[in-house]
Structure 1
Amino acid sequence: MIWLQFIVLLVMILVGSRLKGIGLGLMGVLGMFIYVQVFRLRPTEPPQDVMLIILAIVTTAATLQAAGGLDYLVSIAENVIRKNPKRITFVAPLTTYVLCLFAGTAHIVYSLLPIIAEVSAKKRIRPERPLSASVVASHLALTGSPMSAATAAMAAILAYPGASIDIMKVCIPSCVLGVIASCIAVYKMGKELDQDPDFLERMKDPEFAKSLEVESGTIKKEFKSGAKISVAIFGAAILMILLGGAFPNLVPDMAPGVANFSVNADGSLKMVTIIEVVTLSAAALIMLITKTSPAEITKASLFTSMASAVVSVFGVVWMSSTFMANNEEVIKQMLGAITASYPWLFAVAIFIMGMLMFSQSATTKTMMPLGITLGLANPSLIAMFPAVNSDFFLPGYPTLLAAINFDRTGSTKIGKYVLNHSFMIPGMVGIAVAILTGFLFITLFGIK
């Protein structure tokens, strides 16, 4: 019976991932309907913690965007990239990583992709190289960012004091090394631009050739009056979350009592609560101080993308957790011995689930509790955390498609056999290096 249930799980995820958007979440709920009506499985609780974390963090990021702070951050990154055109294959991905790490979302990369494509093409550097590595960097930044839903979900699952700090101590340096490794992997990828047949064919078009000679991006941009203030408030919120995770004694304690969604039995506030209160308070301050209207926030592109993320996590994680909870003993018997002897195989399982789910937070919420059930130690799960970034494997994720569309030279593409696309090499190398060095860092930092 478990195999029939597993087939339902896979079919719903595969169909949902092809539908994209809220399709993944809706197919997950359809899977729940089948589980309850056909297999009579007992539903687990919906992933309300992750859903509320996404709501809080994305609302704050959308407020930053509406106040002009996001444009200001992008302009800084743009200046860094334009000032180092010859080293763009390394500078662009690392700049993208830092920006996405700070903001907690990979969607900022959409603003940088056309700049990266333009600068590299004008310097006759194959755009495929910095574009592919930058997309991978934008994903790796989420596993370790104090403002990402995936990191917040991981800290909530581990649920021990200082978990968020341990995640950042390990995953930030390991993912940085992963980004550098992906840059090295693509440094000579493909033909040089002036030897590429597709590019040479396009250069026969006078207008196309002229467009690559015209300097652009030199006009000084004007930002909203509250842009810098919004960035400062956003940065202060990140600092408060870091301090709350590193020094629990700074967080007010409540009276001991019955544990609930927000408070532990000993009266200490859960990390989920800290993140939600701090981020949404920061959003309120940005709105009030910069005089940003609520209507502007709800119209921001990040805010409108939140509904899709929440529905996706709601459906697919609820379905997955129901399947695993009702088959826990069988799964432990099947995988327990294997993961005990070869714990690294669990990273492969995370990777496979991540490439099907197209969501770091959903994959984290689905797979990490299973890892704990199988007896894997917290440090090992932290080291494996970057494996949730496998959404590049099937070339349907929006950041990949955007990079392909912004590259006017045609060098960034999906291959004839689908999986031989521009992002495969930097993605595989980046994640592999991040996981391997993650295990090194948990030993180096003595995380237990």
Structure 2
Amino acid sequence: MIWLQFAILIVAILIGSRMKGIGLGVMGMIGMLLFTLGFHLEPADPPVEVILIILCVVSTAAALQAAGGMDYLVNLAAKLLRKNPKQVVFFAPLATYSFTLFAGTSHINYSILPIIAEVATKSRIRPERPLSIAVIASHIALTASPVSAATATMLALMKDYANFQLSDIIKVCIPATMIGIFIGILSVLKMGKDLDKDPVFLEKMKDPEFAKNLDAKQHTDPLPLKPGAKLSVLLFGLGVITIILLGSFPGLMPNFSGNENFSPNLVVGVDGNIRMAAMIQMVMLSVLALIILLTKTPAVEVAKASLFSSGAQAAISVLGVVWMSATFMAANEAMIEHALADVVQAHPWAFSFALFALCALLFSQAATTRAMMPLGISLGIAPAHLVAMFPAANGDFFLPGYPTLLAAIEFDRTGSTRIGKYLFNHSFMRPGLVSVASTVAAGFALSAILL
């Protein structure tokens, strides 16, 4: 029976991923109906905390976008790239990694991708090289960002399991991901043929109109900034710093365990402390309010921002697919643990392959963390090892369907960034595999020293 249930799970995920947008979510709900009504599986708890974090963080990022703060950040990154065009392969992933680390969402990087492609093309550097590693860097940063839904989910699980604080996670994951991305950069320095030897590019250059447009002077003036652009970045940054402080020093928050009739709930844990997920929601929505008030950005403009739509789609997707996966896992927990226990106990690092594989199907680091990390805990994997393997939940590039991958392909006018004939031989495979593997290896080394 477990194999039939597993087949339903996989089919729902595959069909949902092809539907794009909210497809994963709605197909996940069909899977939930089949599990509940057809197999009488007891539904697991829906991923409420993850959904609320996604909505709050992405909505605040949308306010940053509406207030012009994103344009300000893009101007800074564009200035760096255009001043150092020959080093675009190094600086492009640095920019996208920093954006995601700061904002907690990789969707913030769409504005910088065309600039990366333009700078590389004009320098006659194969755009595939900086674009591919820049996209991978923007994804991996999610497992190091203190305000991402993935990190908040990991923190909630590790706090209950080993009393780890936010600082315990980011002091391993930030340097580990930076090491992994640097090694990923080295892996793409000679990837593909140089443009002057690339047959696809040379064929395109035979078209006079294409050659003229390619070398035409692009609009390089900084994006015009709204009056509150810089202030919105400052407010967002203060929010991030507040979350880091509260997550690293929980004693700064009130404790309610001594209150009469105290009862733990979704916001307050059994120890009486406010759950970090709830604190992220409070802080980020407060920042959103301050951005609206102090920068005089209309609330309706926030709702119209492209990031706001991305957050809503992500929330629906996570609700359906994580709820379905968690229900399957809970119903078959004993059998799954029995099958994996010996392998994981002998080789803890093997669990990273399971994290990577599920993320390749779910297209979400937060969803993967919520679905798989409780299994790692029940298998008795050491807390330090789980933190080291946390960045392995970055398999969303494996199947080239994620929006940031498709956007990078679209922005590369030379055609060097592409999906291969056999689907899996796409531009992001090499830097993705190298970066994730290197990050996990560095994570194990760092966790042994720091945790």
Q: TM-score range by the shorter chain?
A: over 0.9
The reply on whether 1:365 has 2:367 as its aligned counterpart is no
Which residue is 2:171 aligned to? 169
Q: 1:310 deviation in Å? A: 0.8
- Could you state the TM-score of these two structures normalised by the residue count of structure 1? 0.97
Matched with 1:149 is: 149
In structure 1, C-alpha distance between the alignment counterparts of 2:253 and 2:211, rounded to whole Å: 59
Q: Secondary structure at the match of 1:212?
A: helix
| Equivalent residue for 1:319, pick from 320, 324, 331 | 324
**CA–CA distance in structure 2, aligned partners of residues 441 and 433 of structure 1:** 12
Q: CA deviation at 1:255?
A: 4.1
Q: Residue 369 of structure 1: SS of its match in structure 2?
A: helix
* Partners of 2:158 and 2:164 within 8 A in 1: no
**Contact between 2:49 and 2:278, CA under 8 Å: does it hold in 1?**
no
Q: Retained in 2: the 8 A contact 1:321–1:366?
A: yes
Residue 390 (str. 1) matches residue 395 (str. 2):
yes
Q: Work out the CA distance in 2 between the residues paired with 1:217 and 1:435.
A: 40
**Which residue identity does 1:314 align to in structure 2?**
L
Structure 2 equivalent of residue 356 of structure 1: 361
- Note the C-alpha offset of 1:8: 1.2
1:220-259 pair list within 5 angstroms: 220-256=222-258, 257-259=262-264
Match of 1:439 among 433, 444, 449: 444
Shift of 1:95: 1.6
Indicate if the aligned counterparts of 1:167 and 1:382 stay in contact, CA closer than 8 A. yes
CA contact (8 A) 2:400 2:419 kept: yes
Q: Give 5+ residue unaligned stretches, structure 1.
A: none
In structure 1, give the amino acid aligned to 2:199. Answer: P
Say if 2:196 is the partner of 1:191. Answer: no
CA distance in 1, matches of 2:445, 2:246: 26
In structure 2, the partner of 1:94 is 94
Aligned-residue offset at 1:204: 1.7
TM-score (norm 2): 0.97
Name 1:404's counterpart in structure 2: 409
- Quote the residue 1:282 is aligned against: 287
Aligned length: 446
Q: Which moved more, 1:410-419 or 1:203-212?
A: 203-212
Asked if 1:120 corresponds to 2:120, the answer is: yes
**Distance in 1 of aligned mates of 2:92 and 2:222:** 21
1:215 aligned residue:
217
Letter of the aligned partner of 2:166 in structure 1?
S
Deviation by residue 1:68-98 (Cα, 9 ceiling, x = unmatched): 1111111111111111100111111112111
Give me the whole-angstrom Cα distance separating, in 1, the residues matched to 2:375 and 2:164. 21
Q: Deviations over 1:183-238 (max 9, x none)?
A: 11010011110111111111122222222333324324320100111100100000
In 1, distance between residues paired with 2:171 and 2:222?
Answer: 38
Q: Deviations over 1:354-402 (max 9, x none)?
A: 0001111111111111111111122111111111111100111111111
AA of the residue aligned to 1:376: I
**Are 1:347 and 1:387, in contact at CA under 8 Å, matched by a contact in 2?**
yes
Distance in 1, matches of 2:270 and 2:94, equals 42
User: Tell me, what secondary structure is at the counterpart of 2:218?
Assistant: coil
- 1:193 alignment partner AA: L
Counterpart of 1:375?
380
Q: Which residue of 2 aligns with 1:347?
A: 352
Counterpart of 2:341 (choices 324, 331, 336) is 336
Identity %: 56
Q: Aligned partners of 1:238 and 1:141: how far apart in 2?
A: 15
Q: Which residue identity does 2:153 align to in structure 1?
A: A
Structure 1 SS opposite 2:395: helix
The 3-state SS of whatever aligns with 1:125 is coil
Amino acid at match of 1:309: A
**Structure 2 unaligned residues grouped into runs of 5+:** none
Shift of 1:420: 0.5
Letter in 2 for 1:199: F
Instruction: Within 5 Å, give how 1:44-83 maps onto structure 2.
Output: 44-83=44-83
User: What amino acid is aligned across from residue 296 of structure 2 in structure 1?
Assistant: K
Q: Does the CA-based 8 Å contact 1:77-1:99 persist in structure 2?
A: no
Give 1:265 deviation, angstroms: 2.5
Give, in angstroms, the shift of residue 56 of structure 1: 1.0
Check conservation: 2:155, 2:165, Cα contact below 8 A. Answer: yes
Report if aligned partners of 2:71, 2:223 keep a CA contact under 8 Å in 1.
no
SS in 2 for 1:422: coil
Query: 1:254, CA displacement in angstroms?
Result: 2.2
**Letter paired with 1:428:** L
Q: Which residue type is aligned with residue 391 of structure 1?
A: D
Task: Determine the C-alpha separation between the residues in 1 that align with 2:66 and 2:113.
Answer: 21
Letter in 2 for 1:73: L
Is 2:12 aligned against 1:7? Answer: no
- Distance in structure 2 (CA, Å) of the matches to 1:386 and 1:168: 11
C-alpha distance in 1 between matches for 2:220 and 2:360: 39
- The Cα offsets for residues 314-360 of structure 1, whole Å up to 9 and x where unpaired, read as 11111111111111111111111111111111100111100001111
Query: Could you tell me how far apart the structure 2 residues matched to 1:267 and 1:164 are?
Result: 18
* Moved segments of 4+, more than 3 Å: none
Cα distance in structure 2, aligned partners of 1:265 and 1:89: 48
SS in 2 for 1:392: coil
Distance 1:79 1:167 in 2: 32
Deviation at 1:10? 1.2
Whether the 8 Å CA contact 1:145–1:168 is kept in 2: the answer is: yes
